[in-house]
Amino acid sequence: MKSIRIASLAAAILALPLAAHAQSDSPWQGPYAGINAGGLFSSTSATIGENNTVGGFSGNGSGFMGGAQAGYNWMVGPVMLGAEVDFQGSTETTNLFGGAGNSQIAATSAIPWFSTFRARVGYPVGSVMPYITGGAVWGHQTLSGFDTAVGNFSASNNFWTYAVGVGMEGRIAQAWTMKLEYLWIGSPDTALSSPASTSIDERSIGNVVRVGLNYHF
């Protein structure tokens, strides 16, 4: 009986390298890089305090975005764990209108570029892999316009926020995959405001829909 247990244990130990090799042979395992393109849609609203009055502005915007991504996938049993970073250029602009007291404000905000740093968790089913994703966003935002109380104004800064989303990736050739992805991007951690504003409470939500092409090395 003892010899049977020892034999079973030896067989299990010998099977571990074979299992690990099978994991590494998964077509989803390893590094990849690619390009993507899509749209960025945003909704911005803010409450501002200016010259002892309270008001606000709001607006919706959209634009084209495109860029590149790179990442690495690990197979843990049937589950894919991955990390991905991407950089995006964007034409997204939002026209904002509002005011505070007797002043009227017309402005344009934009996000010319942003980058995401995300984890991915997927479950491959044959040549298709649905996944969820989430992580940090670093980007740049600008605001320029006209305030009837103070005249022209402009501001810009870099910001951090977060993103969560879902996607579907499918294999189209031995080393190539295509993906469709949606990301929900939270409010930037630093709001933009005109120099005359004494306070601002801004909320901006971004929605990204994009397709991508990856090459797996």
Q: How confident is the model at residue 25 (pLDDT cuts 50, 70, 90)?
A: low
pLDDT of 17 strictly over 90: no
Query: Is 0.75 surpassed by the pTM of this model?
Result: yes
Pair 122, 82: CB distance under 8 Å: yes
Structural domains in the chain, CATH included, are 29-216 (2.40.160.20)
H or E segment and range at residue 15: helix 2-24
Averaged pLDDT of the chain: 86
Instruction: Dig out the tokens for 99 from the structure.
Output: 């005011």
- Which one is predicted more confidently, 194 or 43? 43
Pair 165, 135: CB distance under 8 Å: no
Phi and psi dihedrals of 22, rounded to 5? -65, -40
- Cβ atoms within 10 Å of 136's Cβ, excluding its own: 13
**Closest alpha carbon to 144 in 129, 154, 134:** 154
Instruction: Dig out the tokens for 194 from the structure.
Output: 């005109």
Question: First and final CA of the chain: distance in angstroms?
Answer: 48
